[in-house]
Amino acid sequence: MRIKKLKYKGRRALQSFLLCLFSFFLMTTAYAQSNRTESTLKSQSDIELMAKAARDEGLDKSETFQQILNAFRQELAGKYLFDEQSATLIANDTFGKITAKKGDKQLLIRQIFHALPQHVMNNEQVKWQQRMDSISKALANGADFEALMIRYSETSTAVWMRRLDMTDEMEQVAFALRKGQISQPFLSPLGFHIIQVIDERQEDNEAYVAAYVQRIKEKVYPNREIAQQIDKLKQTYSFTENRQAVNRLYREGKVSGTLFTLGGKDFTGEQFARFAHAYPLNVRLQYEAFVTKNVLDCEVNHLDEHPDYKQSIQDLANRLLAQEAYNKHVRMPSQTDEIGLQTYFSTHQKDYRWSTPRFRGAIIHAADKKTAKKVSKVVKKLRNVEWKEAERLLDDKTRRKVFVEQGVYGLGVNAFVDELEFKNGKATPMQGYPVALTVGKKVNGPDDYREVRDQLLQDYEHYLSEEWLSGLRKQK
């Protein structure tokens, strides 16, 4: 069994190119970081102060910032360009044709599924083909579908699915099954499937249209939608084509001079050649992509005149720049300034006192009492930060008969500390080390900043943030 080759490679490549025009892959991390920064701030005015500080330092000139902002501009442009009325008409038309030809319904399905990458090694595909065949035989012999799904599948819940949610391969198999039937194993571009139809219900036209329109929004445009949108934009920006030059381009693969005029600007064969170099399609598809890109670029450039669009760009730029400045002046120093952390701890030590005492010390597990006492004498002579290293000071014979652990333990953290120091419960001796002793003392708070490092990092970051923002506010 082989994964089917995709047809019309050129058109798929063109479609991928068009979708990539509005890709937003850089934005996820940027949004997460900027939202985390905003959670630490007092007000929107703080974000604007931080953004101004970033611009004063030239952080807005960085390549990464420009890439992220441009990606956002394209994504936002896609939303502004989206024509919901046209998309709804297409959705209704599509639903009507499907219903007329096949009848339409939603299926409640569950599946035994294993994902395979597109470029999977042949031996891996063969291995899973054999495994899925074995699972299919077991199902035919009465094995429980749910039990095999839990054991072997990467999905383990039943879901309602419509044709929009399925690959062509899955749609062909699923809609040919009756309720309760189980398919043979089959391969889609996603991987191997065995599916069972549990229930079915009629598709609702309104719900289908809503889902279709939302899918268009998420993926920007399918081919039909972008074609209609491009036609509208061509009229808006007075697209005029030099058919003689375009026909010569189709025949010879290159041409000089003007190919078309858009928004009062000429686009030439030389510009097309530079564009086509990066897109290895046939000439006609390259030309379609070249026209589409420039039509959309023309609209995006004019969107700067839209107040809401312009404000959205400005708001994101401020958040991103605030994040960059915050990282530089607060987050990075708070994570790397060990002297600052230690100083902050020493002046706020009382804030880190514990509500109940804890035991700071070492737990010695030994093969016998004599060894335990011998090791405890060594431990007591060392500084507490070296207790765990006591084993290296022992001779080989003794070292094999002892295990030392150390830390700060509250009640309920370590069974041996609970028994020996807090007189609570009884610990089960470690195998091979039946004797346990403790060396140390109960304390009410940390002596060393490293004992509360995680909390201290948060507090020190907050402290640096307040100090920095206070300075910015005074400069306002």
pLDDT at position 27, please? Answer: 41
**Rounded Cα distance, 136 and 143, in Å:** 9
Inform me whether the pLDDT recorded for 12 exceeds 70.
no
Distance CA 92, CA 206 (A): 9
> Distance from first CA to last CA of the chain, Å, rounded?
69
Tens-digit pLDDT profile for residues 350-382: 999 999 999 988 898 999 999 888 888 888 877
What is the rounded distance in angstroms from the CA atom of residue 384 to the CA atom of residue 430? Answer: 23
Total residue length of the chain? 476
Question: Which of 187, 185, 181 lies closest to 132 in space, CA to CA?
Answer: 185
- Cα distance between residue 160 and residue 261, in whole Å: 49
Residue 241: per-residue pLDDT? 96
Distance, CA of 26 to CA of 33 (rounded, Å) = 12
pLDDT at 262: 94
Average model confidence (pLDDT) for the chain? Answer: 79
Confidence of residue 84 (pLDDT cuts 50, 70, 90): low
Is the per-residue pLDDT at 28 higher than 80? no
DSSP 181-223: -BPPPEEETTEEEEEEEEEEEEPPHHHHHHHHHHHHHHHS--H
Q: How far apart are CA 444 and CA 447, in angstroms?
A: 9
pLDDT bucket at 4, cuts 50 / 70 / 90: very low
Residue 388 or 191, more confident = 191
pTM (2 decimals)?
0.47
Contacts 24+ apart (CB under 8 A), 386-392: 387/361, 387/362, 387/439, 387/440, 388/362, 390/362
Q: How many Cβ atoms from other residues are within 10 Å of residue 315's Cβ? A: 14
Q: Which of 391, 393, 369, 384 is nearest to 447 (CA)?
A: 384
Question: If you average pLDDT over residues 440-468, what whole number do you get?
Answer: 90
What residue type is 324 in one-letter code? E
Q: Helices 283-303 and 9-20: crossing angle, nearest 10°?
A: 10
Cβ(319)–Cβ(47) below 8 Å: yes
pLDDT at 18: 41
Judged against a pLDDT cut of 70, whether residue 219 lies above it is answered with no
Q: Which of 177 and 400 is assigned the larger pLDDT? A: 177
Give the pLDDT of residue 212. Answer: 64
Of 114-123, 145-154, 320-329, the range with the lowest mean pLDDT is 114-123
Q: Please answer whether residues 446 and 350 qualify as being in contact, where contact means their C-beta atoms are separated by less than 8 angstroms.
A: no
Separation between Cα atoms, residue 203 and residue 105, nearest integer Å: 4
Tell me what percent of the residues of the chain surpass a pLDDT of 90.
34
Report the DSSP beta bridge partners of residue 363.
405, 438
| Environment class of 86 (CB within 10 Å of its CB; exposed 0-12, middle 13-18, buried 19+) | middle
> Which among 218, 254, 260, 264 is positioned nearest to 241, based on CA atoms?
260
% of the chain with per-residue pLDDT over 70: 75
- Is residue 365 within a helix (H) or strand (E), and if so which, with residue range? strand 358-366
pLDDT of amino acid 11: 42
What pLDDT, on a 0 to 100 scale, did the predictor assign at position 167? 79
Q: Edge-to-edge strand order for the sheet containing 186-188?
A: 159-161, 105-115, 191-202, 186-188
The answer on pLDDT for 5 being more than 80 is no
384 against 139, higher pLDDT: 139
Residue 464 binned pLDDT confidence (cut-offs 50, 70, 90): very high
Q: How many CA atoms lie within 13 A of 419 on its CB side?
A: 12
Q: Do residues 334 and 460 touch, judged by C-beta distance below 8 A?
A: yes
Mean pLDDT of 84-104: 58
Q: Which residues contact 268 (CB under 8 A, 6 or more apart)?
A: 256, 257, 258, 259
> 221: pLDDT confidence band, cut at 50, 70 and 90?
very low
**pLDDT tens-digit profile of 170-192?**
888 998 999 999 999 998 878 89
With CA atoms as reference, report the closest residue to 406 among 358, 447, 362. 362
Of 33-42, 75-84, 101-110, 233-242, which gets the smallest average pLDDT? Answer: 33-42
Average pLDDT over residues 215-239: 68
Structure letter (DSSP) for residue 349: G
Phi, psi of 43 (to 5 degrees): -160, 170
Q: Is the pLDDT of residue 3 over 50?
A: no
Own/partner pairs for 425-432, CB < 8 Å, 24+ apart?
Answer: 429/365, 430/365, 430/403, 432/367
Task: Name the token pair of 209.
Answer: 């249209």
CA dist list (Å): 82 to 87, 88, 299, 389: 8, 11, 12, 66
Using CA atoms, how far residue 1 sits from 117, 122, 177, in Å, is 15, 10, 21
In this predicted model, which residue has the larger pLDDT, 270 or 211?
270
Q: Are 183 and 135 in contact (CB under 8 A)?
A: no
CA atoms within 13 A on the CB side of 328: 13
Q: Decide if 209 contacts 91 (C-beta within 8 A).
A: yes
Q: What confidence category does residue 20 fall into, taking pLDDT thresholds of 50, 70 and 90?
A: very low
